Structure 1
Amino acid sequence: IPRETYRGGDRVKAMLLEVRRTPKDVQVILTRSHPQFVAKLFELEVPEVLEKIVEIKSIVREPGDRTKIAVTSREKAVDPVGACVGIKGSRVQAVVRELRGEKIDIITWTSDPRVFIAEALNPASIEKVGIDEEKKSALVVVADSQLSLAIGKNGQNVRLAARLTGWKIDIISATEYEKEKAERDKEIKAALAEETEALHQQEEAREQELKARAESDADKPDTEE
């Protein structure tokens, strides 16, 4: 983890990542930066996670800065987020202390992409989420005051949210959204007006053609049998 330093003899909590066997020796690779290390810490602190009552569906991390976790419960009576947070935040704070103050966002996993994306952008408040399922992209609208919080420092919040959900996420302010909407509405009105005018001209041309035919027929002499 960035900014962590160790000395000989220090006791360090880590996760076994890999055992490498070479002709000369065996190398044991430990990690504190892997996302699953955070998951293992929650298993130690949250009995419901260890017992599989609460499941960590997705976890992403930028070590030393922030982790986002999506959780769900196998039992309706158990609140998955509440279980991970603990009374007065005791459980999650224990994990935060082990990670030297790394921020942790815990959200409820859901199969509804709109809700999931909105939750993933926590701690920002979301006004609207539009999705394109074919492109698996989302346009998120937030209040102007929430824009920087939703994006996060150096784009970290939206970047982690995109990785957590698996969706490409673009964020715009409510002001920008209304501006773009007004421009789109203007373009649509202009296109409709143009189409209406074209149809009107076609109708006039048709009427003139019919009138010309009628006059031509009237000028023709009657044919006697």
Structure 2
Amino acid sequence: MSTVLQQSKTTHTKANRSKEMKEGFLASVPLIIGYLPVAFTFGLIAKQADIDVLNTLSFSALVYAGASQFMGLSMYLAGVSFLQIYIATFILNFRNFVMSLSFNHQFKTLPFWHRVYLSITLTDENFAVTTLGKKSSSASYSSIYLITLHTIAYCTWISGTILGVVFSKLIPKIISESMGISLYAMFIGLLTPAIRTNWRACLIVVVSMLLNFILSSFLSQGWSLILSSIFASLLAIGLMKGDHKE
């Protein structure tokens, strides 16, 4: 009798595991659709900029941040020093500290090493999926669901980079060069909804652009970007506080 109960329990556990993996995969589908073209573009541009395959793949595997990768690549091609690139990407990705803390607080019941892996593979998109998902509460998410979601997104990003590297020689140069505007299109797509509904966000964007334009006239591209980002972030702290009070 005990053997039958154990077998039934094992079967039930496997069924739940399969269900959670399936739900994690379905939740990752929008991320797959969004990640592939952007990662493909990064791999394409990096390879055609004569960055070797190992460094290109390491960039995606270790940095794993779309905007930072494009920014770092453009700064590198512009001859900006590595120190300036490190500082600029650190500032751009500083929000990940906040997201990771929030994520770990929401899922503090999960095993420690699971949370470590999930924090490392955390992005804006999968954070939004888990925070704004259809499940009723954070407790509804299991490790299997979250690990499946994060792993598929991570593998998709690396796979897209690989595809970009592979097809870099097959795509005509005039087309590949035009794909470089994908970063600007991505930024515009992210900024437009916020700007249309929040005048403070619009003001922050305008101020940061003006600061970068002014500072770039007597500073290097790297330092002008870093300083304008810092000043715009400080402005955002004050303005967004007023936004929440309303």
Answer yes or no: same fold by TM over 0.5: no
Higher relative contact order (CA 8 A, sep 6+): 2
Structure (1/2) with the larger strand percentage:
1
Q: Which has the higher helix share?
A: 2
Structure of greater Rg: 1
| TM-score using structure 2 length | 0.20
Q: TM-score, normalised on structure 1?
A: 0.21
